[in-house]
Amino acid sequence: MDLPGAEPERVAEQLCNTFGFLPHEMIYISAKSGLGCEAVLPAVAREISAPVVQAAEPPRALLFDCWYDEYRGVICLFKCVDGTFKKGDTIVSAASGQKYSIGELGVMHPECVETSHLGPGQVGYVVTGMKSTREARVGDTFSDPLQPVEAFPGFKPALPMAYAGLYPVDSSEFPQLDKAIQRLLLNDASVQIQREHSDSLGLGFRCGFLGLLHMDVFHQRLEQDFGAELITTSPTVPNLIKLKNGEEIIVSSAAAFPDLTTVDEMFEPVVKATVVTPAEYLGGVIGLLQEPPNPNPNCNPNSDPNLKLKLSLDCSSAGEAWCARLHRLH
């Protein structure tokens, strides 16, 4: 908004065409000059409805975030929907059935400020003595074990979509790598770790990540925070294999692939992607998409100079190499 070439009207039109926003939803804001800042809080109050709560119902809360503290263990962020939680209360996880005692709770202001309770509609932190973030699953429901409640819908555990092997450059540094990974796992419960041995690389770990960006961040933290020197294998995606005997297995590496004579069907994950590109690059993008395997793109033109391409790609193709080729078009 502050720059001479900002073109806010044109950008607003692109946002409407690309993401489906409505023109009246746009707020033109500049924190530098103060333009439009007074409209933010009224828009939040207008567009975001107040929470629907039941104060008299049994306590029920949604866990939506967590982190690990060296002195207090895992700190969970709760959205209290029904009832009231107090210090000393016993709560139970709907996903695991594990029971915990609330040792401390409070609100974020923005730092942790301890309070006597969390009531319906409030958002705050809870310390229960959890030792690992793997116990705190985002989307889990917590309640009083003596007053069973219905869990919030939609909870699913995190599933890795990219697998890679991590090996130390010097095999004698494997114990140090093991300790470094265990330290990182305290704050990143979504990574799946399994020890493996390679004839050429020695002892290492088979790691499952949520995606390529997640893998890169984890790799960089091992190098920068712990000084680890690593060899990382090419990432692969998990494949669902149906065997002729009716058994189903998930394979994440070529070494674990079963004998082809025993395989009946094989399935791999598919990415539904949207590429927004200026019209002058359409030919290059279409040519890139026609490389095997052909995703058969569906082109939806907009009223602005950009075009939207909707396509399906198998996860093994929609990786770093494909994105790099797409970026090199300009």
- Strand, coil or helix: 92: strand
The mean-pLDDT minimum among 17-26, 61-70, 112-121, 281-290 falls in 281-290
CATH fourth-level superfamily of 60-143: Translation factors (2.40.30.10)
Query: Quick one: average pLDDT of 271-291?
Result: 76
- Strand, coil or helix: 60: strand
Q: How many CB atoms lie within 10 A of CB 22?
A: 7
SS percent in the chain: helix, strand, coil, step 5:
25, 35, 40
Distance CA 205, CA 285 (A): 37
| Residue 293: cis peptide before it, omega within 30 degrees of 0 | yes
Are residues 265 and 242 in contact, defined by beta-carbon separation less than 8 angstroms? Answer: yes
Query: Quick one: average pLDDT of 109-127?
Result: 92
Domain boundaries of the chain, sorted by first residue: 8-47, 60-143, 162-232, 270-327
For position 304, what pLDDT does the model report? Answer: 57
Q: How confident is the model at residue 320 (pLDDT cuts 50, 70, 90)?
A: low
Distance CA 275, CA 285 (A): 9
Query: Quick one: average pLDDT of 147-166?
Result: 87
Q: How many CB atoms lie within 10 A of CB 169?
A: 11
Radius of gyration in angstroms for the set of CA atoms belonging to the chain, rounded to a whole number: 25
169-201 pLDDT per residue, tens = 988 999 999 999 998 988 888 899 989 888 888
In this model, does residue 303 exceed pLDDT 50?
Answer: yes
Of 33-42, 97-106, 208-217, 298-307, give the range with the top mean pLDDT. 97-106
> At which residue do the structure tokens 């920068």 appear?
224
Are residues 233 and 187 in contact, defined by beta-carbon separation less than 8 angstroms? Answer: no
The mean-pLDDT minimum among 22-31, 121-130, 281-290 falls in 281-290
Distance CA 269, CA 312 (A): 10
Token couple for 242: 């149906």
Distance CA 98, CA 154 (A): 20
For position 298, what pLDDT does the model report? Answer: 61
End-to-end CA distance of the chain: 26
Distance CA 327, CA 141 (A): 42
51-107 pLDDT per residue, tens = 887 888 899 999 999 999 988 999 999 999 999 999 999 999 998 899 999 999 999
For position 32, what pLDDT does the model report? Answer: 86
Which CATH architecture is the domain 162-232 placed in?
Answer: 2-Layer Sandwich (3.30)
Q: How confident is the model at residue 293 (pLDDT cuts 50, 70, 90)?
A: very low
- Report the DSSP beta bridge partners of residue 118: 85
